[in-house]
Amino acid sequence: MKVEVVPHNPIWRGKFDDESKYVALTLGENVVAIHHIGSTAIPYIYAKPIIDLLVEVENIAKVDDHSLGMEALGYEVMGEFGIPGRRFFRKENETGTRTHHVHTFTAR
């Protein structure tokens, strides 16, 4: 997958806001907070145009119960994907370009 670094785009904040609402509805009451992280969250820097969401949950195991819902939103369910205690999801648009990452961890 080829990812280009591009100038900051102010629409990224809105894309995060929209997507965080869908993810919160899908993961339900287990969600504690959702944060916009990564380079698209930092104004005025060049970034990979992939929106990263950090989702804090009460119980990480309960996230697995919502895998079908995340798939319905267009996400690929990746499990821990190399980081114990995480649930990771990634999303591509209709042309196969990566658009979102969801990193889910237990709130501390």
In the chain, where the domains are located:
11-106
Instruction: For 10-49, write each residue's pLDDT tens digit.
Output: 999 999 999 999 999 999 999 999 999 999 999 999 999 9
Q: How far apart are CA 40 and CA 26, in angstroms?
A: 23
Beta bridge mates, 15: none
Architecture of domain 11-106: 2-Layer Sandwich (3.30)
| Strand 87-92 to 75-77 pairing | antiparallel
What SS3 class is residue 16?
Answer: helix
pTM of the predicted structure, to 2 decimals = 0.95
Taking 70 as the threshold, does the pLDDT of residue 1 lie above it?
Answer: no
pLDDT of residue 35: 98
Q: How far apart are CA 98 and CA 93, in angstroms?
A: 6
Instruction: For 45-99, write each residue's pLDDT tens digit.
Output: 999 999 999 999 999 999 999 999 999 999 999 999 999 999 999 999 999 999 9
Residue of 44, 24, 46 lying closest to 34 (CA atoms): 24
pLDDT of residue 2: 74
